[in-house]
Amino acid sequence: MNLTDLAPQAVVDGFLPGILIEVVATVPMGPSAVNLVYKRMDTKEITTEVVISTDPRLATMQIAVDGRPWSFTAPGEPWRLAVEAKRIGLAWLFEPMMAVYTSKVDPLPHQILAVYESMLPRQPLRFLLADDPGAGKTVMAGLYIRELMLRADARRILIVAPGSLTPQWGEEMIEKFGLLFEVFDSSMIQNTATGNPFAEKERLVVRLDQLSRNPMLQEKLKQAPEYDLIVVDEAHKMSAQYWGGELRKTARFELGELLAGHCRHFLLMTATPHNGKEEDFQAFLTLLDGDRFYGKMRDGTRRVDVSDIMRRMVKEELVRFDGTPLFPDRIASTVNYKLSDDEASLYAQVTDYVRNGMNRAARLDDSRRVTVGFAMTSLQRRLASSPAAIWESLKRRKRRLEDELRETGSKIVAMRGNQNSSPKSRPWKTPTGTIMPTQKTIWMMKSTEP
């Protein structure tokens, strides 16, 4: 580099170690020296120094910016990509439904309303999406996920679903929304550097029961960074029930409590949120708002308004853009028909069997009475289904009773052997009393069961 290259406004590298300088002015001091006036780029301090042509720094000095504060000599492709990335990141400001136009779905009106009116405005989201089956809740969740990612509001996302649905979630996310979600399996623990896939994988689909039954996985989930969004499909499985004044939590419900406390946005999806008991429904809603729904509701208390945390649309309300119903109208009517002689005979015999079985079940203890009563009513439902269904049920019941009869006979034979070797007979206790083990014992025991 020569002294003549030190022009005003030039930014020079190498004059000061690791610091750029900007040339303010140069005053010639003979043919081989200049008085350099420069400004340090780090402190903006202006300094003067005499530089001679034999200065060793001239060999390593180079012009960083040639005579102007900014240069356009850098490669343009990286700059264009950066500008495009910024433009895409801000696209939602100009197109509020950006996810709709960047996904391979044709959403229906109720799906758009769910995402852009019911869920996106809520920050943070704690919501129960409870539309009827067939409404397309997976599509709604996918649109919501993609919209959050386009707005840079979600990066770490976890989807929890029943085991049979996890492959479907992974396929639909990549095919319809271009989002890669890995389905969790135990091999991920060995294949990740830290042994914690919840910490290393940003987008996962995990099985509900696999996570609820494995304390080790739950501990790894706790150790991982908090998720931006957790979506739970078939969320009604995470239920709890009141028995008396006590809330009995299932393992799935306790998992729901863990998930609710480990994310910013929490979305529950189910088509059957209510089991008919208001207190159990409110216990379920504690996953969304523990303070608001804490404790068992008092008798006579009105149902609480949950419209701010829940949306439910039935099939009759779902329409297309032209206003036509999405599903045909459901018409319920009673149709009478005459049984044939064989069908009437079968119905009478099964009904008599069920009636006698229920009468015998009434003499059993509480736990057995409930079990036997349920079995009897199940036979009636199978009878109403079809003759083939009740035929299969009766065959299975016959086999089970024969197995129990053989097992009881083996016990009697064993007891007789003990009785012959003992000076005193050992009585056998049955639900109807204490009798001696004789040939009639088997029949008396079986007569107490349907």
For residues 287 and 281, give the distance between their C-alpha atoms in angstroms, rounded to a whole number.
Answer: 11
Spans of the chain below 70 pLDDT: 65-73, 297-302, 357-373, 418-450
Determine how many CB atoms are found less than 10 A away from the CB of residue 128: 22
Q: Which of 297, 314, 178 is nearest to 242 (CA)?
A: 297
Question: What is the DSSP code string of 379-443?
Answer: HHHHHHH-HHHHHHHHHHHHHHHHHHHHHHHHHHHHHHHHHHTSSSPPPEEETTEEE---TTHHH
CB 135 within 8 A of CB 313: yes
Q: Which residues make Cβ contacts (< 8 Å) with residue 435, sequence separation at least 6? A: 427, 428, 441, 444
Which region, left, alpha or beta, applies to residue 136 given φ > 0 means left and ψ of -120 to 50 means alpha? Answer: left
Q: What is the DSSP letter of 319?
A: B
> So what's the architecture of 91-317 in CATH?
3-Layer(aba) Sandwich (3.40)
Query: Looking at residue 358, what is its pLDDT?
Result: 63
Whether the pTM exceeds 0.85: the reply is: no
Rounded CA-CA distance 107/291 in Å is 35
What is the per-residue DSSP string for 270-297? -S----S-HHHHHHHHTTT-TTTT-SPP
pLDDT tens by residue, 210-246: 999 999 999 999 999 999 999 999 999 998 888 877 8
Domain limits, CATH 2.30.30, in the chain: 3-65
Q: Residue 227 is inside which H or E element, if any?
A: strand 227-233
Q: Are strands 310-311 and 126-129 parallel, antiparallel or unpaired?
A: parallel
What is the spatial distance between Cα 245 and Cα 285, in angstroms, rounded to a whole number? 17
The predicted structure's pLDDT at residue 219: 95
Tokens found for residue 1: 């580099």
The architecture in CATH of the region 3-65 reads: Roll (2.30)
Q: Are 298 and 290 in contact (CB under 8 A)?
A: no
- Angle among Cα 417, 419, 423 to the nearest 5 degrees reads 135
Start-end ranges of CATH 3.40.50.10810 in the chain?
A: 91-317
What is the DSSP annotation of 59-128? GT-EEEESSSS----S-HHHHHHHHHHHHHHTHHHH-TTHHHHTSS----HHHHHIIIIIITTSSS-EEE
Round to whole Å and give the CA distance between 183 and 160.
10
The predicted structure's pLDDT at residue 70: 55
